Structure 1
Amino acid sequence: MEDLTIWKVNGLELYLDIEDADTVEKYEAAMDQLETDSPKDKSDGAAAYIRAYCKAFRTLYDSLFGDGTASRIFADVPDNVRKYTAVYGDFLAFVSKQAAQSQAEMVQIRRKYLPKGGKR
């Protein structure tokens, strides 16, 4: 059975359990910080925008998984919006799959133990 708490990215295995309150608190704070850090426009030029965009994602991963994690994830990746966005998409898919599995398990338990139509 696949361990849905392990995100496999660029040869790394990173642990994140979104059913743990402390982890979710850290996740929410990191996602809020990503929103704050993400550049809003290209008024300083396209290259500066790309660098700021990538830096915001490096901060996200370091906040969630520990300092230096982003350097390991992006070891041979230049500041490139497309590549950073692809990693972020993979990360969100990982989190989404974990959340869906958690929800499915709760539905199964309710079906098994609660009377038909019973809500608690």
Structure 2
Amino acid sequence: MKINGVELEDLDLLDLEVAERFEKGLKKIEDISSKVQGMSATESIKTQCNAVFSIFNDLFGEGTDKKVFGNKVNLLTCLKAFAELVDYSKKPNEEIIKLTQKYSPNRATRRKKK
């Protein structure tokens, strides 16, 4: 997978441990909006970016934040990278839907009508 132009190992989001780490990271991000209210712009940027850095380090290993973002702490870059990660996370669900639809009751009913 490629995030922010940097090649990272593919995540197996259907693996229980990986899925748990991913969900834990998402919960941290969800809580950020309430944390940053009332903060200065610089503190808000720092807090939000650190949360994104933490998710990448938790999922891909310590130091991944430096690999993906370098030494910059840019909110737009962090949010775009996080969006790429979330988009990537949807792919396994799409595959599961295709597989389960293959054996859905509706398909069995349609086959009987032929």
TM-score by length of 2: 0.78
Contact 1:34–1:59 under 8 Å retained in 2: no
How far the C-alpha of 1:98 sits from its partner, in A, is 2.5
How many residues matched? Answer: 107
Instruction: Give 1:74 shift.
Output: 0.6
Cα distance in 1 for partners of 2:12, 2:6 equals 19
Could you say what the CA RMSD is over the residues aligned between the two structures, in angstroms? 2.2
User: Unaligned 5+ residue runs, structure 1?
Assistant: 1-6
| Counterpart selection for 2:83 from 83, 86, 89 | 89
Please point out which of 104, 109, 113 is paired with 1:116.
109
Cα distance between partner residues in 1 of 2:27 and 2:53? 14
> Within 5 Å, which residues of 2 pair with 1:51-70?
51-70=46-65
State the identity %: 19
Question: For residues 76-110 of structure 1, what are the alpha-carbon distances to aligned partners after superposition, in whole Å with 9 as ceiling and x for unaligned?
Answer: 6x2221111111111111111222122212222x1
CA-to-aligned-CA distance 1:29-74 (integer Å, 9 cap, x gap):
2222333455431x33111111111001000111111111111111
Alpha carbons 2:36, 2:47 under 8 Å: kept: no
Residue of structure 2 equivalent to 1:40: 36
Q: Say if 1:18 and 1:99, in contact at 8 Å, map to a contact too.
A: no
Q: Which runs of at least 4 in structure 1 moved beyond 3 Å after TM superposition?
A: 36-39
| Code of the aligned partner of 2:84 | D
Q: Distance in 1 between matches of 2:15 and 2:101?
A: 19
- Pick from 18, 21, 26: which aligns with 2:16? 21
Give the partner amino acid of 2:46.
R
Flag structure 2 segments of 5+ consecutive residues without an equivalent. Answer: none
Once residues 26 and 75 of structure 2 are traced to their aligned partners in structure 1, the CA distance between those partners, rounded to angstroms, is: 18
Larger % of helix: which? Answer: 2
